[in-house]
């Protein structure tokens, strides 16, 4: 007897959620229907189940939500970028070197900086510091005398002195002039300390870019010098006999540039300015292209904001070709190349895993009969429900539209009469239920017949479930809320089953903005995400939110005082999964201290309140003890839902 073919396959899940497009071969789906991540085990690569990682984490006493970090993916990204430039340099017979730097601001967590410097050592891969605290961190971790530390951002006297002292110690620190006034202070401190600086100058590009952050790098940028200001700085350095200190030209095109054409055009403009500075007599030798290397969050490989129409290999080749063409034409030596590619390096590094706590969906109760002497409007909508459900299997589009129009009319009239006091609250409730039941019928018939309608947005609400995830958009995915950044979201298990529920994902904050209602799936952007129904009580339905390694940990805020999630870092050693680092998420007490509360004072104040309740005989002394225990236990607890 032939087995019945399943109504859903792993391949269909992969296609629906696009994991093989945005996953960049790091993530896939196993034969068990679970999301796997590819990690290194010596010289081999092994597929590791993310649900297995979570199960192991739970056995060790940690709860969801959790941010899982994969050091291997960070290493692969560093290798891909550096090897991409090495190949492009070799094939183009380019005479300069590549010396990339990682911008600390993209993910400032200590573990990230430690691993970037460890895995980047073989390539002399450096760091970019945009503030004094970042420079202090960089100086502690950058022990490679051939790697660069690029100093961007506003620089006060302490910042400049630290950079100069590091130069004296043999560290390759480059200070970038972001505004004209910085040069005077740098020259003053250089003279006082007797240490010559290595300088770069940032220009404002005129080349048009694209994407969310395009204005951060063009003529509207708050940082950078225009050409006249650059020439004034050159003249000042020449007058001081320090033009030889000008070593680097820097520009920043913006983050996540989706078009390779825009990147190439910027490289040409930057190279032209670089050549001009060499011709002015500056020593130069380094061209810093800033950030911009994009990744495909949506997997569509397009020129849209959340995507890119190129890969790392093409990026490296085009940049090298553009710069060499300009410099060869001018007879200028090829400069060493720096890029500040942060997002492309670290985005894949982290995955947020959350569990679904609850569901809110419309389910018709199927009102059998009306109370005696119902209002006429309630009787009308009750009869309309019977008329709709009693129609044949294939009603015409005109008939469906008529039912829809009548339902909307009756619902609005019922609401109006309720506001006038002519209909009771229970009668209005019955009218609303009948209305939604009719719209459910209308929606299903429209879908079955392949009809489209101007009212489909309203009908969509009938079919949409709200799944409440154990997370905070504001803390863990601030770019989703702030700039509508798309992140891949999908179940990490049950992928051999067909997802049947269209879902909007809500977090556990009390804010209406705390939701995700834009998803990439089925090769397009949609307002809902197909997920599975949750049937088994006590079993977590788990979702993964991917590519969150860039900026999200750094930008997260304490909306509703929900703090950092638990964090685990994993790798494979000898064929076995190893949890290399476990960081407990913020407790309630810790989060409260961030906003200037003192936990001991909170306990004291609450104890006074509890004692007053004992005196007034609202509670007993024993109950006071139990209540204080609960209060203090709450302070020690996880800020997220605890099972």
Residue 387, C-beta contacts closer than 8 angstroms, at least 6 positions apart: 403
**Residue 511 banded pLDDT, cuts 50, 70, 90:** confident
210-224 pLDDT, tens digit per residue, is 555 445 445 555 679
Closest CA to 356 of 225, 484, 152, 494: 494
Query: Which of 240, 245, 316, 510 is flagged as catalytic?
Result: 510
Judging by DSSP bridges, how do beta strands 576-583 and 489-491 pair with one another?
A: unpaired
What is the mean pLDDT of the segment spanning 433-440? 88
546-595 pLDDT, tens digit per residue, is 999 999 988 877 778 788 899 999 999 888 999 999 999 989 999 899 88
Q: What is the pLDDT of residue 617?
A: 95
Judging by DSSP bridges, how do beta strands 246-251 and 286-288 pair with one another?
A: parallel
- Does the pLDDT of residue 457 top 70, yes or no? no
The verdict on whether 151 is a catalytic residue reads no
The pLDDT mean for the chain works out to: 90
Burial 268-279 (b: 16+ CB within 10 A, else e): ebbbebbbbbbe
**3-state DSSP percent of the chain in helix, strand and coil, to 5:** 45, 20, 35
Lowest mean pLDDT among 183-197, 211-225, 458-472, 570-584: 211-225
380-413 pLDDT, tens digit per residue, is 999 998 888 877 667 888 888 898 899 999 999 9
What is the mean pLDDT of the segment spanning 44-58? 95
What is the mean pLDDT of the segment spanning 318-336? 97
DSSP annotation of 561 reads: G
Residues of the chain with pLDDT > 70, as a percent, come to 94
| Three-class DSSP category at 179 | coil
Q: What is the pLDDT of residue 213?
A: 46
Could you identify the residue written with the tokens 């006071």?
A: 624
- Does the pLDDT of residue 103 top 90, yes or no? yes
Q: Are 167 and 200 in contact (CB under 8 A)?
A: no
| Three-class DSSP category at 569 | strand
C-alpha 135/C-alpha 140 separation (Å) is: 9
Q: What is the pLDDT of residue 450?
A: 63
Burial 126-163 (b: 16+ CB within 10 A, else e): bbbbbbbebbebbbebbebeebbbbbbbebeeebbbbb
Q: What is the pLDDT of residue 211?
A: 55
479-499 pLDDT, tens digit per residue, is 888 888 899 999 999 999 999
| Three-class DSSP category at 604 | helix
Q: What is the pLDDT of residue 367?
A: 87
**Beta-bridge mates of residue 491:** 543
Q: What is the pLDDT of residue 452?
A: 55
Closest CA to 446 of 389, 408, 395, 499: 395
- Does the pLDDT of residue 609 top 90, yes or no? yes
Q: Are 126 and 148 in contact (CB under 8 A)?
A: yes
What is the mean pLDDT of the segment spanning 258-266? 95
- Does the pLDDT of residue 185 top 90, yes or no? yes
Q: What is the pLDDT of residue 460?
A: 66
Q: Three-class SS string for 468-520?
A: EECCCHHHHCHHHHHCCCCCCEEECCCCCCCCCEEEEEECCCCCCCCEECCEE
Q: What is the pLDDT of residue 456?
A: 55
Burial 302-319 (b: 16+ CB within 10 A, else e): ebbbbbbbbbbebbbbbb
What is the mean pLDDT of the segment spanning 528-546? 88
Lowest mean pLDDT among 160-174, 217-231, 275-289, 361-375: 217-231
Q: Are 505 and 317 in contact (CB under 8 A)?
A: no
Q: Model's pTM, two decimal places?
A: 0.89
Judging by DSSP bridges, how do beta strands 576-583 and 566-573 pair with one another?
A: antiparallel
DSSP annotation of 204 reads: -
> Would you tell me how many other CB atoms lie within 10 Å of the CB of residue 259?
19
**Beta-bridge mates of residue 149:** 127, 173
- Does the pLDDT of residue 443 top 90, yes or no? no
Residues of the chain with pLDDT > 90, as a percent, come to 72
- Does the pLDDT of residue 61 top 70, yes or no? yes
111-163 pLDDT, tens digit per residue, is 999 999 999 999 999 999 999 999 999 999 998 999 999 999 989 999 999 99
């Amino acid at each position: 007897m032939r087995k019945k073919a399943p109504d859903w396959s792993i391949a269909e899940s992969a296609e629906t959620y696009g994991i093989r497009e945005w996953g960049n071969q790091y993530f896939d789906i196993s034969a068990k229907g679970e999301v796997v991540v590819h990690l290194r085990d010596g010289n081999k690569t092994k597929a590791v189940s993310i649900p297995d990682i979570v199960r192991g984490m739970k056995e060790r006493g940690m709860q969801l939500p959790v941010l899982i970090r994969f050091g291997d993916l960070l290493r692969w990204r560093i290798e891909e970028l550096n090897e991409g430039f090495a190949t492009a340099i070799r094939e183009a017979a380019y005479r300069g070197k590549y010396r990339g730097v990682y911008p600390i601001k993209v993910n400032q967590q200590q573990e990230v900086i430690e691993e970037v410097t460890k895995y980047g050592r073989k390539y002399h891969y450096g760091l970019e510091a945009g503030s004094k605290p970042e420079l202090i961190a960089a100086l502690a971790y950058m022990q490679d005398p051939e790697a660069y530390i690029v100093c961007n951002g506003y620089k006060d006297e302490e910042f400049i002195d630290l950079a100069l002292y590091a130069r004296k110690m043999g560290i390759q620190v480059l200070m970038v002039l972001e505004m004209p006034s910085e040069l005077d202070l740098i020259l003053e401190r250089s003279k006082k300390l007797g240490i010559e600086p290595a300088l770069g100058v940032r220009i404002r590009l005129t080349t048009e870019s694209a994407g969310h952050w395009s204005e951060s790098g063009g003529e509207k940028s708050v940082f950078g010098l225009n050409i006249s200001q650059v020439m004034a700085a050159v003249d000042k350095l020449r007058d001081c006999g320090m033009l030889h200190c000008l070593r680097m030209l820097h520009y920043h095109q913006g983050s996540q540039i989706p078009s390779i054409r825009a990147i190439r055009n910027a490289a040409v403009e930057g190279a032209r300015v670089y050549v001009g500075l060499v011709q002015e007599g500056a020593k130069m030798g380094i061209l810093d292209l800033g950030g911009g290397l994009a990744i495909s969050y949506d997997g569509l490989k397009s020129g849209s904001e959340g995507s890119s129409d190129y890969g790392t290999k093409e990026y490296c080749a085009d940049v090298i070709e553009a710069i060499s063409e300009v410099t060869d034409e001018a007879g200028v030596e090829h400069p060493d190349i720096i890029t500040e590619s942060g997002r492309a390096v670290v985005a894949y590094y982290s995955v947020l895993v959350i569990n679904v706590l609850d569901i809110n969906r419309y389910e018709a109760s199927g009102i059998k009969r009306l109370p005696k002497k119902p209002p006429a409007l309630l009787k009308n909508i009750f009869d309309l429900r019977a008329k709709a459900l009693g129609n044949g299997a294939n009603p015409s589009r005109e008939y469906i539209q008529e039912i829809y129009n009548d339902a909307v009319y009756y619902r609005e009239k019922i609401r109006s009469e309720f506001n006038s006091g002519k209909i009771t609250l229970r009668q209005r409730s019955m009218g609303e239920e009948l209305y939604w039941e009719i719209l459910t019928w209308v929606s299903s018939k429209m879908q079955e017949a392949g009809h489209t309608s101007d009212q489909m947005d309203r009908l969509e609400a009938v079919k949409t479930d709200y799944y409440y995830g154990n997370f905070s958009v504001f803390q863990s995915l601030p770019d989703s809320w702030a700039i509508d950044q798309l992140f891949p979201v999908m179940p990490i298990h049950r992928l051999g089953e067909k997802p049947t529920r269209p879902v909007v994902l809500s977090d556990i904050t009390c804010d209406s903005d705390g939701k995700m209602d834009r998803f990439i799936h089925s090769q397009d952007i949609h307002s809902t995400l197909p997920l599975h129904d949750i049937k088994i009580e006590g079993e977590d339905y788990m979702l993964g939110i991917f590519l969150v390694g860039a900026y999200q940990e750094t930008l997260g805020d304490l909306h509703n005082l929900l703090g950092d999630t638990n964090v685990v870092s994993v790798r494979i050693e000898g064929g076995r999964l190893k949890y290399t680092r476990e960081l407990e998420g913020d407790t309630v007490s810790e989060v409260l201290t961030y906003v200037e509360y003192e936990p001991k004072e909170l306990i004291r104040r609450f104890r006074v309140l509890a004692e007053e309740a004992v005196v007034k005989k609202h509670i007993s002394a024993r109950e006071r003890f139990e209540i204080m225990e609960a209060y203090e236990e709450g302070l020690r607890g996880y800020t997220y839902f605890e099972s």
